[in-house]
């Protein structure tokens, strides 16, 4: 079989993308950096790295969807590093909210004191994205005078609005957040149950942002208490960052009956301590994390004197979650599914709702059940959401309460179509410029879920920070661009933890089922001890470290390929490389004329080490290939290389915003 591998240059972006966790993070947090710091027992350094680009780092340590973990290279071997749990281990010890760990008691740090601590301990990290706290402070000093006059109005105090206000304040502006609810934090407070995120933690994190000079006005509804046009008159710029606080409905018969509730509205009622009355047979429709938040909140709404262990007995509340997807296809995290089942949530996969069954009454129809049809496909051959059903295969489930968790939408009722030049799409979404995040209305910006729909909290943080930069450019008249520096640092004494490749993941300790259900607000996760955190962090492959090859020394002896525990190094015929141009040296630093190109090898990225033309002829045109996906950075190849061709080096880079001349 003729195997041909495509060749492309390994540019600066390639090296950054080797640190997959950081590349996957929307705010480019150096997760590898804080994980390695924890492995060394330096939890304070880990916190400062995690907090650098993320003003809600402590909150994310508890609830982040962790796209970094999905990208983690360790997951190619066994299980990804528990990056989110390790972030919590650092933030719980040095953040504004100090949670229980190693037997300690939770406490809060005064916001002003914590802000002073951050200002005194800003650090330069080895792999910095442009969103770092230190870069924002430096950027503010570049432009003088700072903007004076009206402040910036931000509509919505969720993660996007908070992150935007945080960065604007650092940049010398005076943001004011307007929140319709009686408490700040948006969906962090209203949509995330207390058993997942302590309310004192939310208060502490927001307190630090307020200490920067951010004003938050709660109970102010735009369009009712104050008009958008008034904000535009009173403020130099407006950022719209309202979250998706409305549940999407189902266009099926009976969906307007009494007993049909939106999942977001249900969670909001719990958060505001005004729970909606529920029946004894509750069916939740949906298969995502929000559906499980709803289901598990229903379980906790049982009166405290009822034994949760008896939930499955007749006469006790039954909670079923029904979704289109199979167990393997469900978007909910596996830990949510497992813990939901432990708490009594019954799961039914592969069914789609057809009709909500009702019976009439003097006050209108009420729910008595729901009919489902078999879903035989969720995603079509083009990879699009396009469910296919078998209408002949149906089931009826008895229910007196149906909670819908099939999607969310933003409330834009405060917008009038075309008001003040702000254009809306046909489906009433705001039109905006993805580069600046400004709408068609002069000085009106957009951030978070209202821009792109429901995503993770960390996506909202990234969007809010980007909107802050857009406002900064708009009000100061300056243009920002990224200034990047990248280099390698050789590690002559590189070593790894013993038996690295055989270490298993340390699972997050949790409370017992009885403890969870005896107290509806008791947090489920207990958190790592120092020893557990260090053990888990020690599994990190440290993807910022790379094997560097000096092709002038290599004799193609194959010693490195024999000692490699994952077979990531192979000697392969040069004829397997597909290239339309002759091999040439690429312009890089003089002492790193190695790994110039990448190839696609078995659908994975790999390196090609160039061998001088004379040596190719002498060695029957063989070259050394490296499959980067399975390399564990053990350093054994460097240790056995007889000619010292291979060395271990760490990539470091600084990306920061600077003002164009």
Give the span between the Cα atoms of 440 and 449, in whole angstroms. 18
pTM across the whole model: 0.90
Give the span between the Cα atoms of 409 and 244, in whole angstroms. 4
Looking up tokens 């870069």, which residue turns up? 135
**What pLDDT band is residue 9 in, cutting at 50, 70 and 90?**
low
**What pLDDT band is residue 420 in, cutting at 50, 70 and 90?**
low
Mean pLDDT of 611-622: 43
When divided into structural domains, the chain yields a total of 4
- pLDDT in the model for residue 612: 37
- pLDDT in the model for residue 549: 82
Mean pLDDT of 83-104: 88
Q: Do 634 and 649 lie in a common domain?
A: yes
- pLDDT in the model for residue 422: 86
- pLDDT in the model for residue 123: 80
Domain boundary among 362, 380, 405: 405
Quick check: helix, strand or coil at residue 329? Answer: coil
Q: Do 548 and 537 lie in a common domain?
A: no
Which residues on adjacent β-strands are paired with residue 607? 598, 626
pLDDT at 233 over 90: yes
Q: Do 654 and 559 lie in a common domain?
A: yes
Higher pLDDT, 13 or 207: 207
pLDDT, one tens digit per residue, over 498-520 is 888 889 999 999 999 999 988 88
- Check if the beta carbon of residue 448 is closer than 8 Å to that of residue 159: yes
Note whether residue 480 is domain-resident: yes
Instruction: Specify burial of residue 512 (Cβ count, 10 A radius: 0-12, 13-18, 19+).
Output: exposed
pLDDT at 550 over 90: no
Q: Do 415 and 287 lie in a common domain?
A: no
- pLDDT in the model for residue 6: 52
**What pLDDT band is residue 419 in, cutting at 50, 70 and 90?**
low
Q: Do 623 and 604 lie in a common domain?
A: yes
Q: What angle do CA 275, 280, 285 make, to 5 degrees?
A: 75
Highest mean pLDDT among 6-15, 490-499, 538-547: 538-547
**What pLDDT band is residue 593 in, cutting at 50, 70 and 90?**
very low
Q: Do 558 and 653 lie in a common domain?
A: yes
Q: Do 179 and 110 lie in a common domain?
A: no
Query: Strands, E, within 226-345: which ranges?
Result: 237-240, 246-247, 260-262, 281-285, 318-323
**Which structural domain, as residue segments, surrounds residue 343?**
251-263+274-405
Give the span between the Cα atoms of 337 and 126, in whole angstroms. 37
The CATH number of the domain where 535 resides is what? 1.10.1060
pLDDT, one tens digit per residue, over 311-370 is 444 447 899 999 999 999 999 999 999 999 999 999 999 999 999 999 986 567 899 999
Q: Do 193 and 237 lie in a common domain?
A: yes
- pLDDT in the model for residue 310: 45
- Check if the beta carbon of residue 192 is closer than 8 Å to that of residue 63: yes
Note whether residue 64 is domain-resident: yes
Mean pLDDT of 427-444: 90
pLDDT, one tens digit per residue, over 170-187 is 998 999 999 999 999 999
pLDDT, one tens digit per residue, over 632-656 is 999 999 999 999 989 999 999 999 8
- pLDDT in the model for residue 311: 44
Note whether residue 136 is domain-resident: no
Helix (H) / strand (E) containing 372: strand 366-379
- pLDDT in the model for residue 613: 37
Mean pLDDT of 157-179: 96
Q: What share of the chain is helix, strand, coil (3-state, %, to 5)?
A: 30, 25, 45
The CATH number of the domain where 196 resides is what? 3.50.50.60
Note whether residue 135 is domain-resident: no
Mean pLDDT of 606-628: 52
- pLDDT in the model for residue 660: 75
Note whether residue 361 is domain-resident: yes
- Check if the beta carbon of residue 640 is closer than 8 Å to that of residue 560: yes
pLDDT at 607 over 60: no
Note whether residue 336 is domain-resident: yes
Give the pair of three-digit tokens for residue 481. Answer: 């661009």
Q: Do 385 and 349 lie in a common domain?
A: yes
Q: How far is CA 172 from the centre of its chain?
A: 28
Q: Do 378 and 293 lie in a common domain?
A: yes
Give the span between the Cα atoms of 213 and 19, in whole angstroms. 35
- pLDDT in the model for residue 305: 37
pLDDT at 148 over 70: no
Q: Do 608 and 649 lie in a common domain?
A: yes
Note whether residue 133 is domain-resident: no
Mean pLDDT of 10-36: 92
The CATH number of the domain where 601 resides is what? 3.30.70.20
- pLDDT in the model for residue 135: 87
Note whether residue 268 is domain-resident: no
**Residue 29 neighbours by CB distance under 10 Å:** 31
**What pLDDT band is residue 146 in, cutting at 50, 70 and 90?**
low
Q: Do 627 and 565 lie in a common domain?
A: yes
């Amino acid at each position: 079989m003729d195997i041909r591998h495509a060749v492309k240059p390994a540019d600066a972006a390639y090296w950054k993308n080797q640190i997959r966790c950081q590349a996957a993070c929307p705010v480019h947090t150096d997760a590898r950096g804080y994980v390695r710091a924890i492995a060394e027992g330096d939890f304070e350094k880990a916190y400062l790295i995690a907090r650098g680009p993320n003003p809600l780092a402590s909150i994310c340590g508890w609830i982040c969807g962790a796209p970094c973990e999905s990208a983690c290279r360790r997951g190619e071997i066994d299980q990804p590093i528990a990056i989110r749990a390790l972030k919590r281990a650092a933030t719980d010890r040095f953040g504004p909210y100090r949670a229980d760990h190693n037997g300690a008691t939770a406490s809060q740090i005064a916001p002003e004191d914590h802000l002073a601590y951050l200002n005194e301990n800003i650090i330069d990290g080895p792999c910095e994205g442009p969103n770092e706290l230190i870069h924002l402070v430096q950027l503010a000093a570049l432009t003088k005078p700072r903007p004076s006059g009206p402040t910036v109005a931000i509509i919505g105090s969720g993660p996007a609005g908070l992150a935007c206000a945080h960065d604007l304040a650092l940049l010398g502006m005076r943001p004011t957040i307007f929140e319709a609810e009686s408490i700040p934090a948006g969906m962090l407070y209203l949509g995330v149950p207390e058993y997942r995120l302590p309310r004192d933690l939310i208060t502490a994190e927001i307190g630090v942002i307020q200490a920067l000079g951010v004003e938050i006005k709660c109970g102010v509804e735009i369009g009712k208490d104050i008009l958008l046009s008034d904000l535009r008159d009173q403020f130099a710029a407006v950022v719209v960052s309202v979250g998706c606080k409305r549940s999407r409905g189902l266009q099926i018969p009976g969906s307007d009956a009494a007993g049909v509730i939106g999942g977001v509205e249900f969670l909001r009622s719990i958060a505001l301590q005004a729970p909606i009355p529920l029946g004894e047979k509750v069916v939740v429709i949906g298969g995502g994390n929000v559906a499980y938040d709803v289901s598990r909140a229903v379980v906790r709404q049982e009166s405290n004197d009822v034994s949760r262990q008896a939930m499955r007995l007749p006469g006790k509340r039954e909670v079923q979650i029904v979704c289109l997807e199979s167990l393997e296809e469900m978007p909910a995290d596996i830990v949510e599914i497992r813990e939901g089942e432990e708490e009594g949530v019954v799961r039914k996969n592969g069914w789609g709702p057809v009709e909500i069954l009702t019976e009439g009454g003097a006050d209108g129809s009420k729910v008595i059940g729901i009919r489902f049809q078999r879903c035989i496909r969720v995603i079509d051959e083009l990879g699009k959401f396009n469910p296919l059903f078998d209408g002949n295969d149906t089931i009826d489930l008895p229910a007196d309460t149906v909670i819908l968790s099939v999607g969310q939408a933003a409330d834009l009722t405060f917008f009038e179509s075309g008001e003040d030049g702000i254009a809306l799409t046909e489906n009433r979404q705001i039109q905006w410029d993805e580069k600046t995040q400004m709408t068609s209305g002069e000085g009106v910006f957009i951030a978070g879920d209202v821009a792109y729909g429901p995503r993770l909290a960390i996506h909202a943080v990234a969007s809010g920070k980007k909107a802050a930069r857009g406002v900064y450019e708009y009000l100061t008249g300056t243009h920002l661009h990224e200034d990047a520096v990248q280099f390698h640092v050789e590690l002559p004494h590189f070593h790894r933890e013993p038996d690295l490749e055989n270490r298993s993941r340390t699972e997050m300790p949790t409370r017992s089922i009885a403890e969870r259900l005896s107290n509806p607000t008791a947090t489920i996760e207990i958190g790592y001890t120092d020893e557990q955190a260090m053990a888990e962090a020690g599994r990190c492959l440290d993807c910022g470290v790379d094997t560097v090859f000096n092709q002038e020394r290599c004799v193609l002896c194959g010693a490195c390929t024999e000692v490699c525990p994952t077979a990531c190094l192979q000697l392969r015929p040069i004829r397997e490389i597909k290239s339309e141009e002759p091999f040439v040296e690429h312009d890089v630093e003089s002492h790193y004329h190695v790994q110039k190109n990448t190839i696609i090898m078995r659908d994975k990225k790999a390196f090609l080490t160039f061998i001088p033309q004379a040596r190719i002829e002498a060695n029957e045109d063989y070259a050394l290939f490296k499959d980067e996906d399975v390399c564990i950075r053990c350093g054994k190849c460097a240790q056995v290389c007889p000619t010292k061709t291979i060395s271990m080096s760490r990539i470091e880079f600084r990306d920061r915003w600077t003002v164009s001349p």
